[in-house]
Structure 1
Amino acid sequence: MNPFDLPPVAAILAAAASGLTALGTLVTPAGAIVLVTLAVRALLIPVGVSMARAAQNRRRLAPRLAELQRRHKKNPEKLRRATMELYAAERVSPFAGCLPMLAQAPVLAIVYALFAYPTIAGDPNHLLEHSLFGAGLGRHLVDLASGMQPADLVFVALIAVLGVVAWLNRRLALRDAIAPAEGVPAMLDPRGALSWAPFLTLAAAAFVPLAATLYLAVSGTWSHLERRILRAVYP
């Protein structure tokens, strides 16, 4: 089928499937996913640098934020405005930590789709014929409920990697966290419930194909190593 005759989403998936298949002939489809993940993370290094600088600036602004909280503790709305004005004046984003995952969302969605559907653009999806250490790349963790196979231990390994990386990233996040202004909901406290956000990847792993779980594990490992290195560069 002519790719120009396809709807935009189908055309993107068809092109991505062709590219991943071609790359898979040089390594394996699973290896191709690892290479794609590394390429995406390499492209996002400037975003990681921006995050590290933002975290450094937030630590630098901590005394001024504390002063604003003391001055406006009886007026939450005025405190909120003053806090955002300070961030704007110093060109610091309080939400910079969300950028890497948001930037990867389209790629992760494509990886998910490539191993979630039996056909792509009307043609059989041959990517589903491939595996990682014997476990099908299109297999889901919830599929293990119907019977676990020895090859499914790869799920256990990847989930373990995701869990360890999430725990390490949470520890780093807690080191960088500063107390939120008064009036800010507790759920947005970076030292409270929000600090558990890295573990959301574990929840996602239960519903995405093995290929996407592999992507999350590699990306999470890169994220932790990059964060440790940049934290040393921007103490």
Structure 2
Amino acid sequence: MGIFGDIGHFIMTPLYYLVSAVLVGWHKVWGTVLNADGGIAWALSIIGLTLVIRAALIPLFVKQIKSSRNMQLIQPKVKELQKKYGHDREKLAQETMALYKETGTNPFASCLPILIQMPIFLALFRLIDKAAKDQTGNGFLSDALAKNFGESKLFGTIPISASFTSPDGHTSVQIVAAILVVAMTATTFLTQRQLMSKNMPADALSGPYAQQQKLLLYVLPLVFAVGGIAFPIGVLLYWTTSNLWTMCQQFYVIRNNPAPGTPAAQAKADRDAAKARRHGGAAVATEVATEPEVDRRPATRQQPKKQTREQRKKSGGAKPSGTTPEGDQQ
């Protein structure tokens, strides 16, 4: 098999066990409510496998988001270094790496989720391929399950192991494969476009990092479109589901925690201001509604109490001249 074959087998064997364990586990779950021999149960198992893997990659995604944000925010400093050391490439590279280290930025972190997924993607591809061609399993996927997996069909006519270039004589396979390839390509493009249009500051749209992002924007979907026609239906399900997860996850992060100075940050500030105004208006209305009523009627004048002559003498003392107490005139 050769040294490279031995290395590949050493790397892939643990992945076969990992992927097959999750796949078989989901198949047991779906097999209790659906036909275990049907393609729907296996298709949902592949989607379940995708969700488990993507959930496990959330820490890497968070690291990717932080690194991408740092790359955007330091672009003005990178431009200053380019102006200062543009004549000395070695010095420019040293200063740029020092800037990355100082700000805790890894320019390759944005590729980590894709790089981690590629071996898993390859392991699933090999499991489906061997199950379809040789009816042999790997890892926890037994030969009996592999045969069942390889022969399973969606909607009774579409083999889950068939591809656009190998439709097994079914036009429906090419139609479904084409739809999945388009969905996979479109979600890849929209995810990258979402990042560039909403979560990149203006300064970062003209630097080398922006050129790299623009390159990925068009190259990655093209690569997936060209390569996707050879992928089995099951692999296309995996990759399309993974892209949908990425798009939704990125939408949530950009909406709730955007990079400063970006259109997404301005949109969040506008939403927060509108929310504050709504809550402020409600608070004022509540305060006015709950203000206690004040009795504004004039106070009733209290009439003086009638006193006898003896009481007036005791309380009034000497009377002013020219006055005659009431009852003295007879």
Deviations 1:127-180 (A, max 9, x none): 101123432111122114x75422542212211211221221231343435512
1:123 aligns with 2:143: yes
CA distance in 1, matches of 2:189, 2:75: 25
Amino acid in structure 1 at the alignment position of 2:160: L
Q: Give the TM-score taking structure 2 as reference length.
A: 0.60
3-state DSSP class of the match of 1:190?
helix
For residue 78 of structure 1, report the CA deviation from its aligned partner.
Answer: 1.4
Deviations 1:156-215 (A, max 9, x none): 22112112212212313434355128xxxxxx9314434324313223312222111111
In 2, are the aligned partners of 1:112 and 1:212 still within 8 Å (CA)?
A: yes
CA distance in 2, matches of 1:195, 1:22: 36
Distance change >3 Å, CA 19–CA 169, structure 1 → 2: closer
What is residue 69 of structure 1 aligned with on the other side?
A: 82
Alignment of 1:164-179 (within 5 A): 164-175=186-197, 176=200, 178=205, 179=207
Amino acid in structure 1 at the alignment position of 2:137: I
1:222 aligns with 2:245: yes
What is residue 26 of structure 2 aligned with on the other side?
A: 23
Mean alpha-carbon deviation: is it higher for 211-220 or for 200-209? 200-209
Alignment of 1:49-198 (within 5 A): 49-117=62-130, 118=134, 119-120=136-137, 123=143, 125-126=146-147, 127-133=149-155, 134-144=157-167, 147-175=169-197, 176=200, 178=205, 179-180=207-208, 189-198=211-220
What is residue 59 of structure 2 aligned with on the other side?
A: 46
In 1, are the aligned partners of 2:15 and 2:120 still within 8 Å (CA)?
A: no
What is residue 231 of structure 2 aligned with on the other side?
A: 208
In 2, are the aligned partners of 1:68 and 1:83 still within 8 Å (CA)?
A: yes
Structure number with the bigger relative contact order (C-alpha 8 A, sep ≥ 6) is: 1
CA distance in 2, matches of 1:192, 1:15: 35
3-state DSSP class of the match of 2:226?
helix
What RMSD, in angstroms, separates the aligned Cα atoms of the two structures? 2.6
* Equivalent residue pairs, number: 222
Mean alpha-carbon deviation: is it higher for 11-20 or for 196-205? 11-20
Deviations 1:87-112 (A, max 9, x none): 01111011111111111122212210
What is the aligned-residue identity percentage? 23
Where structure 2 has 5 or more consecutive residues not aligned to the other structure, the ranges are 1-8, 31-40, 260-330
What is residue 184 of structure 1 aligned with on the other side?
A: none
Amino acid in structure 2 at the alignment position of 1:180: P
Larger-gyration structure (1/2) = 2
Amino acid in structure 2 at the alignment position of 1:135: I
In 1, are the aligned partners of 2:163 and 2:173 still within 8 Å (CA)?
A: no
Q: Give the TM-score taking structure 1 as reference length.
A: 0.82
